[in-house]
């Protein structure tokens, strides 16, 4: 991955984390990694734990950013979430999977969209 792509992804994750925290969620972990992959954001929403995939694209030419979350990505995120819950010991009333789309604009603030219970 190029430095520019990494920077765009990091920007999107910062914007997503800010939006979710301003919405009342508590950030538990950012960029949790293990041998099988990575979870962008892990948050608490009351008694629930939210696993959030952040998708940032420079343009919408290839569709909305959330379109990049395909069935393989969903399967991997579910597996990673189960592993994180086991390893962390955190208990949750409910587990939720959200997606945050970030689309930077040439001028002004990025368009940020939070999709609750995305899958």
Radius of gyration in angstroms for the set of CA atoms belonging to the chain, rounded to a whole number: 14
pLDDT at 60: 78
Mean pLDDT over 79-88 rounds to 97
pLDDT at 2: 85
Taking only the tens place, the pLDDT of each residue in 11-30 is 999 999 999 999 999 999 99
Locate tokens 């999107």: which residue?
Answer: 12
Is the pLDDT confidence value at 1 over 90? no
User: Mean of the per-residue pLDDT values for the chain?
Assistant: 95
Q: What residue ranges do the domains of the chain occupy?
A: 3-115
pLDDT at 96: 98
Quick count: other Cβ atoms within 10 Å of Cβ 11? Answer: 15
Topology at the third CATH level for domain 3-115 = Trna Endonuclease; Chain: A, domain 1 (3.40.1350)
pLDDT at 5: 87
């Amino acid at each position: 991955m190029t430095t520019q792509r990494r920077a765009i992804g990091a920007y999107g994750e910062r914007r997503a984390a800010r939006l979710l925290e301003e919405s009342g969620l508590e950030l538990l972990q950012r960029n949790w990694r293990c041998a099988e992959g990575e979870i962008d954001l892990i948050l608490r929403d009351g008694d629930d734990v939210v696993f959030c995939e952040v998708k940032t694209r420079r343009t919408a030419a290839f569709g909305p950013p959330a379109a990049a979350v395909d069935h393989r990505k969903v399967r991997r995120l579910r597996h990673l979430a189960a592993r994180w819950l086991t390893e962390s010991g955190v208990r949750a009333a409910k587990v939720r999977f959200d997606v945050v789309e970030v689309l930077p604009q040439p001028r002004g603030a990025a368009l940020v969209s939070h999709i609750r219970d995305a899958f």
